[in-house]
Structure 1
Amino acid sequence: MRIVIAIIFICFHLVSFAQVNRIEPLNWWVGMNNPNVQLLIYGDNISKKTVEIDYTGVELINQHKVENPNYLFLDLKILPTAKAGNISLLFKEQGKKTFVKKYELKSRDESKRALQGVNASDFVYLIMPDRFANGDPSNDRVKGMADQSLNRDSMYYRHGGDLQGIINNLDYLQELGVTALWLNPVLTNDQPLTSYHGYANTESYHVDPRFGGNEAYRKLIDACHKRGIKMIQDLVHNHFGTEHYTIKDMPMKDWVHQWNTFTKTNYREQVHMDPYAAKSDKDIMLNGWFDRHMPDMNQDNPYVKNYITQSHIWWIEEMGIDGFRLDTYAYNDLAFMSEWGKAIDAEYPKMTYFGETWVHGIPNQAYFTKSNRINQGIDTKLQGVTDFQAYWAINEALNGKFGWMDGVVRLYNTFASDFMYEDPYQNVVFLDNHDLSRYLSVVGEDFNKYKSGIAWLLTTRGIPQLYYGTEILMKNFASPDGLVREDFPGGWSKDKANKFNRAGRSEKENEAFDYVKTLANYRKNNPVLQDGKMLQYIPEDGIYVYFRYDDHKRIMIVMNSKQEAINLQTKRFQEGIAGRQQAINIVTGAQINSLEELAIPAVSTQVFELKK
């Protein structure tokens, strides 16, 4: 009889507890600057319940029932007197047995903020986790997930790369001079197709189990931090994936932007700043869907705003994230992004974030940055951008023709407009990424041009970012984009060559690797190339000269975009040379005993440390 009663008791409790399928955030902390947190409770007809709590220092301010009875939102206030522990949430309903769910309050770990803040001292390495290295083949497929594809011969299927694969190759990254990792989104993407890239997340608090889950992410971050390497998390405010549970069973109709028929965004950022923009055009830009499987989140909805913002705070506090990259920034509601920025800054004053601004024109790009400098009418709080204007300018400098507005002149003009930013040194400069043709292909596989651009990347102002494989001459055009998301050779046990090792690379690949390594590590060890001031000269006849300097060092950079070598007379550059008489070529180590004339090879960027 006792056995039967026990079974009935267990079954009853299983049924009772099953009424709550989720509580998000997964946990919270005492001692936060903002004492308020909103819990999302999800379960079958959970809104029929009322909730009570009895925990010293925690008050239940309000509970919100919304259109969908499967949701209940609880507003908690965590007072300074609250201690870490488990809050008992008592779910009551007349005529039904009360049941309890525990909700954990943790103590904050201040040590996780030791590296926080990505800035111009960093060298960022961008990795698409599915395509970098497979460190744990056991998670290549996960039972129950929608996308069971696994085929390295297909650019659209999953290839099996994971976070353990990155951990296994941290020595390689550290040797290269990397100080920060930016991973394409790692949150669970349980979409049925092309789930590998991560930009249509279906969970907000869980790393994709095919990458190793939350524990692998924690392990990677801890391993990076022990080496002084920072972690940048890629966030998508604008949209979720259609398989996200809050999309499949929405709390309310206006959780996402709804249209009578499917409406894509018009992808025209100009409506943000256009004083004559039609409201209908602006609505489509901001509220249209990025794609059919990427519903556009309604950032006017207070529940949506809380849900998104709290999830991002959770990742910082739980994992020790050091910086954020904000995807599709121009498609967001800027008033919400300003609120979001204030919330992040209030908790983490050292935290930094930069937005993807794939826009055309320097004013358009600067418009999205902080401080309302160019009549935006709002302070977005965005500290930096992915500097597409500098990207197009360096391409023009390396591939363009000579002229008043062409070639290196465009590079000069781009930086001459830095007055539009509060801090242009927070902009991220790059030569390629996961959406763009690989840099080596863009410069026609010309190795001299390749080195010239690398030298610019690691000596110009801003935060340099390198896309995985650029240092070993990976190539291809982004047509389609899967072609630039190939596997890193050696990341899989059956690969014919392991290019993580010197012996597995060709002579030319080692030359490229060494070139990046030399400049990146020089930059890492010399603050003058991090936050030193910049002085540039108007280009003449395809020659662009600029300096980086501080109270201790002066670096002279000469970009020769011509097909012939030159002997550069330096009299014009005396302000930058500032009385120095000699120099060392940073890459070759060659000593230069006179600065009156410099021999500059064709199609090259030479980097000199000036000596008195």
Structure 2
Amino acid sequence: MNRSITVFLFLIFANLTSAQIDRVEPPNWWIGFKNSKLQLLVKGENIASAIPSIEYEGVSINKITSGDSSNYIFIDLNIDRNTNAGTFEIVFKPKKGRRIKYNYQLKSRVKSAEDYIGFNSTDVIYLITPDRFANGDPSNDINKKMNENTIDRTDDYGRHGGDIRGIINHLDYIENMGFTAIWPSPLLTNDMFQASYHGYAMTNFYEVDPRFGTIDEYIELATKARQKGIKLIMDQVANHCGLEHWWMKDLPFNDWINFQKKFESKDKMVFSNHRRTANMDTYASAIDKKELSEGWFVNTMPDLNQNNPFMASYITQNSIWWIETLGLGGIRQDTYPYPDKNFMSSWAGAIMKEYPNFNIVGEEWSYNPLLINYWQQGANNKDGYQSNLRSTMDFAMQNLVIEALKEDDSWNKGLIKLYEGLANDFIYTSPKDIMVFPDNHDMDRIFTRLNKDVVNTKMALATYLLMPRTPQIYYGTEILMENTAKPGDHGLIRSDFPGGWTGDSTNAITGEGLTEDQKEMQSYLKKLLNYRKTSTAIHDGKTVHFGPVNGIYVIARILKDETVLLLLNKNQDEINLDLDRFKELGLSGKKMTNIISNEVITWKQNLKLPGKGAFIFSSK
């Protein structure tokens, strides 16, 4: 055989059998964490056959673990607290072929851990579905490399083109409205074949979806929001990934996802039973618990196995990576009760240990306050479970306010329902840290649920914003967006924000094309939000409420010399309210300002209320 041909064939064979590196995750890290450990996932053909080494002062390899797939290796590092920032080489020595050198960067942290201030009761959060909010950069609408590569604004479940640039362009509007935090639904790559717009079936946990923009734009959003006093909350998913995730074609371990053998053999999949009470139910069967935490959410969302320690590390490190990269002001964790609950406690604990002033809210869709309470840190749970979770979502109060306002006015039935619901706060460790909301991206718009009643909608918003809670408002609520034509239709619930697209005939930013009711609601909420922004009584004050009488329910928030009163009046006609019943508030003879109308009254023997509505007075 010709010598040149022999050499050529040898090189081909060596290339086929030698190791290579396709990705390393996390893609970089930082110095100065309390936890000195870092676990790197290294993916590449035959990389498990290579032996890694590092020569960098302060960085040492504790352990090397090959995956069940020969294309993965996991490297456990220790990073001393005194290690300097810089770039070091990881040298991989394979059994065959040449050594591979990979440069890995350790960065200095931009600010101290204590300076990561999470959202709290001083904030009002603006929830945004990015694809439906504003299209700031039409050039990224279609990406031919993605599985879903069309734009169709007439399709409720198709992509519409909203992006990160669109949110950046509207930060002035968000600030002027009085919001102090934004929560966009997931912006990471969701390379699914359909309905990829919502973002909850992620296919790469370290990549921004190019149809939303770039990581530089994500960082720009965080930076510009922060400059306006607006915190950025990241929507994360620890329970599942998307079926088209890059690792689904070559899973690192035989138990990387739950029911992996069924997936690989294309057997009938086991789906979650959605029996979330199995987490705390002392009678729950083992099979109910297993099907809850290990069953797939839907057939396009593989369930991640947090009991695999490498998966557990991957999820936790990913959260910390994004906190540092974006300077986050909080995390919203999707489908909180579905993953392994002990892992979720460890996950939240690891984050809160590193960032003691941070905050995380978990989604627990339950109308039972006992279940909501179970997930808040400090709860006196019978099984001793502690979640390390400061906030959880208050679906119970969200629903109760709406039911109370729709209830028949006779015998104060609706208002008493609300009064007794708020009385349930005795069970919560910290009611003000629980997130309440009129609606969100998964439920009918509040204007729809209240039968398009503007007065009831104002009453509801005032109640959510003045009770001891951390409120969240869904984009478009301020202009009475609704989905009456198709109740329950998620695509319609997530309709386009008017004015977010060039050529829109209606523009919520300029007011062009809005109805008088829409303009009035926008003005109402703007006044209420901007007042709330500076009200320490609403943020941290004591709450005193008075049992409903004659169709009127009064809630007071009190801190030092500031008293804020919410009077919910369900009477259609003018009523003269006797103020003697409220003497304990110590307001007699004081000037009180209606924060919506700016009318000033003197708190005396009685108060005329012109009819149904929410009346908000402040002693400031």
Q: Is the pair's TM-score, using the shorter chain for normalization, greater than 0.5?
A: yes
Deviations for 1:327-379, whole angstroms, at most 9, x for unmatched residues? 11111221111111111012111110111110131111111111232324210
AA of the residue aligned to 2:568 = M
What is the rounded CA distance, in whole Å, between the counterparts of 1:64 and 1:150 in structure 2? 44
Partner residue in 2 for 1:423: 430
Deviations for 1:214-254, whole angstroms, at most 9, x for unmatched residues? 11100111110111110000111111111112233211121
Partner residue in 2 for 1:281: 288
Partner residue in 1 for 2:66: 65
Instruction: Give yes or no for contact 1:362–1:414 (8 Å, CA) kept in 2.
Output: no
Deviations for 1:194-224, whole angstroms, at most 9, x for unmatched residues? 0000011111111111110211100111110
Distance change >3 Å, CA 16–CA 104, structure 1 → 2: farther
In the alignment, structure 1 residue 437 sits paired with structure 2 residue 444: yes
Instruction: Give yes or no for contact 1:201–1:244 (8 Å, CA) kept in 2.
Output: yes
TM-score w.r.t. structure 2 length?
A: 0.94
Partner residue in 2 for 1:482: 491
Instruction: Give yes or no for contact 2:22–2:43 (8 Å, CA) kept in 1.
Output: yes
Distance change >3 Å, CA 122–CA 14, structure 1 → 2: farther
Shift of 1:439: 1.0
Shift of 1:96: 1.9
Instruction: Give yes or no for contact 1:115–1:230 (8 Å, CA) kept in 2.
Output: no
* Secondary structure of the structure 1 residue equivalent to 2:351: helix
| RMSD (Å), alpha carbons | 2.2
Shift of 1:472: 0.9
User: After superposition, where does 1:547-562 map in structure 2 within 5 Å?
Assistant: 547-562=556-571
Distance change >3 Å, CA 278–CA 473, structure 1 → 2: same
In the alignment, structure 1 residue 347 sits paired with structure 2 residue 347: no
Partner residue in 1 for 2:4: none
User: After superposition, where does 1:582-597 map in structure 2 within 5 Å?
Assistant: 582-597=591-606
What is the count of residue pairs matched by the alignment? 604
What is the rounded CA distance, in whole Å, between the counterparts of 1:203 and 1:26 in structure 2? 12
What is the rounded CA distance, in whole Å, between the counterparts of 1:152 and 1:605 in structure 2? 37
Partner residue in 1 for 2:93: 92
Instruction: Give yes or no for contact 2:391–2:433 (8 Å, CA) kept in 1.
Output: yes
In the alignment, structure 1 residue 604 sits paired with structure 2 residue 613: yes
AA of the residue aligned to 2:545 = Q
AA of the residue aligned to 1:246 = W
Partner residue in 2 for 1:121: 122
Shift of 1:14: 10
Partner residue in 2 for 1:42: 43
* Secondary structure of the structure 2 residue equivalent to 1:110: coil
In the alignment, structure 1 residue 542 sits paired with structure 2 residue 542: no
Shift of 1:73: 0.2
In the alignment, structure 1 residue 388 sits paired with structure 2 residue 375: no
Partner residue in 2 for 1:5: none
Shift of 1:578: 4.5
Partner residue in 1 for 2:196: 195
Distance change >3 Å, CA 86–CA 14, structure 1 → 2: farther
Shift of 1:281: 1.3
Name structure 1 gaps, 5 residues minimum.
1-9
Instruction: Give yes or no for contact 2:182–2:233 (8 Å, CA) kept in 1.
Output: yes
What is the rounded CA distance, in whole Å, between the counterparts of 1:390 and 1:543 in structure 2? 19
* Secondary structure of the structure 2 residue equivalent to 1:96: coil
Partner residue in 2 for 1:452: 459
* Secondary structure of the structure 1 residue equivalent to 2:317: helix
AA of the residue aligned to 1:540 = V
Partner residue in 2 for 1:256: 257
Shift of 1:539: 2.0
Distance change >3 Å, CA 354–CA 50, structure 1 → 2: same
AA of the residue aligned to 2:596 = V
Deviations for 1:259-292, whole angstroms, at most 9, x for unmatched residues? 5621221112111222111111121111111100
Deviations for 1:104-145, whole angstroms, at most 9, x for unmatched residues? 111111079746210000011000000000000010011311
Partner residue in 1 for 2:155: 154
What is the rounded CA distance, in whole Å, between the counterparts of 2:96 and 2:470 in structure 1? 61
What is the rounded CA distance, in whole Å, between the counterparts of 2:245 and 2:77 in structure 1? 25
Instruction: Give yes or no for contact 1:36–1:75 (8 Å, CA) kept in 2.
Output: yes
Instruction: Give yes or no for contact 2:18–2:96 (8 Å, CA) kept in 1.
Output: no
What is the rounded CA distance, in whole Å, between the counterparts of 2:268 and 2:12 in structure 1? 45
Larger mean CA deviation between 471-480 and 488-497 belongs to 471-480
Shift of 1:16: 10
Deviations for 1:165-215, whole angstroms, at most 9, x for unmatched residues? 011111111110010000101111111110000011111111111110211
Instruction: Give yes or no for contact 1:489–1:497 (8 Å, CA) kept in 2.
Output: yes
Shift of 1:577: 4.0
Deviations for 1:363-406, whole angstroms, at most 9, x for unmatched residues? 11111111232324210111111111111110112101257894
Instruction: Give yes or no for contact 2:128–2:184 (8 Å, CA) kept in 1.
Output: yes
Distance change >3 Å, CA 501–CA 73, structure 1 → 2: same
What is the rounded CA distance, in whole Å, between the counterparts of 1:92 and 1:448 in structure 2? 71
What is the rounded CA distance, in whole Å, between the counterparts of 1:328 and 1:277 in structure 2? 20
Distance change >3 Å, CA 502–CA 23, structure 1 → 2: same
What is the rounded CA distance, in whole Å, between the counterparts of 1:33 and 1:58 in structure 2? 15
What is the rounded CA distance, in whole Å, between the counterparts of 1:263 and 1:244 in structure 2? 19
In the alignment, structure 1 residue 298 sits paired with structure 2 residue 305: yes
Partner residue in 2 for 1:167: 168
AA of the residue aligned to 1:223 = K
What is the rounded CA distance, in whole Å, between the counterparts of 1:112 and 1:509 in structure 2? 42
In the alignment, structure 1 residue 526 sits paired with structure 2 residue 535: yes
Instruction: Give yes or no for contact 2:589–2:602 (8 Å, CA) kept in 1.
Output: no
* Secondary structure of the structure 2 residue equivalent to 1:51: strand
Percent identity, aligned pairs only?
Answer: 40
What is the rounded CA distance, in whole Å, between the counterparts of 2:410 and 2:511 in structure 1? 42
What is the rounded CA distance, in whole Å, between the counterparts of 1:553 and 1:11 in structure 2? 79
Partner residue in 2 for 1:138: 139
Shift of 1:522: 0.5
Instruction: Give yes or no for contact 1:181–1:230 (8 Å, CA) kept in 2.
Output: yes
Deviations for 1:502-540, whole angstroms, at most 9, x for unmatched residues? 344332221111100001000102211111111112223
TM-score w.r.t. structure 1 length?
A: 0.95
Larger mean CA deviation between 311-320 and 105-114 belongs to 105-114
Distance change >3 Å, CA 406–CA 328, structure 1 → 2: farther
Instruction: Give yes or no for contact 1:356–1:385 (8 Å, CA) kept in 2.
Output: yes
2:273 to 266, 273, 276: 266
Instruction: Give yes or no for contact 2:19–2:49 (8 Å, CA) kept in 1.
Output: no
Instruction: Give yes or no for contact 1:323–1:352 (8 Å, CA) kept in 2.
Output: yes
